[in-house]
């Protein structure tokens, strides 16, 4: 009875998310990656604390995938120089810490990575209204 309704709800949510991704600015896409990693880490913490090893492992793997294949892959090391190199090293550190958390069942490590991601997300949001983040450059203001 509820199966088809739940399937419909999930399909609607998926379409909404996909529409958000298609319509999002590059800046917003990075915010979405941070948010996705945080959701995965919250689920991993829940799994770790409740003894659900499957949820913990799946969620940690998802967070690592978002960090490595999303955040790290989005770095432009040529244009970003030292900042991009530093972020790359930080993302690599986070992934290594998450592997350790998975092996040792240590929630403090998950919380450490959450804090790091939160700081980066907050800094990223602080630049949200700058011309580089919005895609509106001073030379384009007349046509905006």
Each domain of the chain, given as residue ranges in start order, spans: 25-128
Q: How many Cβ atoms from other residues are within 10 Å of residue 87's Cβ?
A: 17
Q: Report the CATH superfamily, name and number, of domain 25-128.
A: Flagellar protein FliS (1.20.120.340)
What confidence tens digit (pLDDT) does each residue in 100-133 have? Answer: 999 999 999 999 999 999 999 999 999 876 666 5
Cα(121)–Cα(135) distance, integer angstroms: 19
What confidence tens digit (pLDDT) does each residue in 64-86 have? Answer: 999 999 999 999 999 989 999 99
Q: Closest Cα to residue 32, out of 18, 19, 21?
A: 21
Instruction: Name the pTM for this structure.
Output: 0.76
Q: Hey, what are 55's tokens?
A: 């949820």
Residue 90: pLDDT over 70: yes
């Amino acid at each position: 009875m509820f199966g088809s309704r739940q399937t419909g709800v999930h399909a609607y949510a998926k379409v909404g998310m996909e529409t958000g991704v298609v319509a999002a600015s590059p800046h917003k896409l990075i915010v979405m990656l941070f948010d996705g990693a945080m959701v995965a880490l919250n689920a991993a913490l829940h799994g770790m604390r409740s003894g659900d090893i499957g949820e913990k492992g799946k969620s940690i793997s998802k967070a690592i995938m978002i960090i490595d294949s999303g955040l790290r892959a989005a770095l432009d090391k040529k244009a970003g120089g030292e900042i991009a190199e530093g972020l790359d090293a930080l993302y690599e550190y986070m992934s290594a810490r998450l592997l350790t958390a998975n092996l040792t069942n240590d929630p403090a490590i998950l919380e450490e990575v959450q804090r790091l991601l939160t700081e980066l997300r907050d800094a990223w949001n602080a630049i949200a209204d700058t011309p580089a983040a919005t895609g509106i450059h001073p030379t384009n203001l007349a046509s905006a």
